[in-house]
Amino acid sequence: MNSMNLPKRSTEKPKWKGAWKDNGPCVNHLNQQFNPHTPNSVWASDFTYIKVNGCFHYLCVVIDLFSRKVIGWNVSSRHDVDLTLKAFTKAYSDRGEPNYVLFHSDQGSEYTAFTFRQTLEKCNAVQSFSKKGYPYDNACCESFFRHMKRECLNRKKFRNQEELRLCCFEYINRYNSKRPHSSLGDFTPDEIEELYMERQA
């Protein structure tokens, strides 16, 4: 890394402020069943942090577990309910407003907030939560961020949010359309969804 002048991977983490608020029961309906048989039946979501010009920014993603495709995402300088809400509503709109999606996340206040839960209820989505402090319950999102940081984010320095947003856009497009997944038989997420649609036709 020194000889090639590559930057070191960042290990610095933001300091979280504020307490977790209980806005209702947090039941794990997914139970690590990460391989649904149809699209738009199980979505998983999480967010991560990225340094931008010395300050932390946040990327939230929504992944369809059928194809491991990132179907919604949002970048913000704040980790609040607006961060997760915009990622979800983008996914919900782009996927044709499906009914009875199982939506899985951790128990962060960004997902347990009344506004977020009310939106899911209006969309006929069932909410599911990981056990506190147990990332294995949301392993697919954890895996996505691990790959994205290793292959992209931790190798770049961002001067502003627009640079970060463009980087996320390019990586997610490549991840969905060109990056094969061993869990998908070395197909890409887009190819898996195309194969499903061909079988349905």
Q: What is the CATH number of the domain that holds 185?
A: 3.30.420.10
pLDDT value at 194 more than 80: yes
pLDDT over threshold 80, residue 9: no
Instruction: Tell me, yes or no, whether 152 lies in a domain.
Output: yes
pLDDT band at 6 (very low <50, low <70, confident <90, very high): very low
Read off the pLDDT band of 2 (50, 70, 90).
low
Q: Is residue 127 part of a domain?
A: yes
* Domain membership flag for residue 182: yes
pLDDT, position 183:
87
Note whether residue 175 is domain-resident: yes
Distance (Å, whole) CA 132 – CA 116: 19
What is the separation of C-alpha 130 from the centre of its chain, rounded to a whole number of angstroms?
14
Look at residue 46 and tell me if it is in a domain. Answer: yes
Asked if residue 126 belongs to a domain, the reply is yes
- For 119, 168, 172, the CA distances from 178, given in Å and listed in that order, are 33, 15, 10
67 has a pLDDT exceeding 90: yes
* Model pLDDT, residue 159: 95
Q: Which domain holds residue 140?
A: 42-200
Residue 20's pLDDT is what?
44
Residues 50/158, Cβ–Cβ less than 8 Å: yes
Please give the structure tokens belonging to residue 21: 């608020």
Q: What is residue 41's predicted lDDT score, i.e. its pLDDT?
A: 97
User: What is the total residue count of the chain?
Assistant: 201
Both tokens assigned to 94: 């782009």
In a domain, 25, yes or no: no
Average pLDDT over residues 76-100: 97
Q: Give the model confidence (pLDDT) of 118-140 as tens digits.
A: 999 999 999 999 999 898 999 99
Number of domains forming the structure of the chain: 1
| 199 token code pair | 């079988």
Which of residues 10 and 124 earns the better pLDDT score? 124
Residues 14-64: tens digit of each pLDDT: 654 444 455 678 999 999 999 999 999 999 999 999 999 999 999 999 999
Section 147-166 average pLDDT: 95
pLDDT band at 96 (very low <50, low <70, confident <90, very high): very high
* pTM score over 0.85: yes
Averaged pLDDT score across all residues of the chain: 90
**Residue 151 forms part of a structural domain:** yes
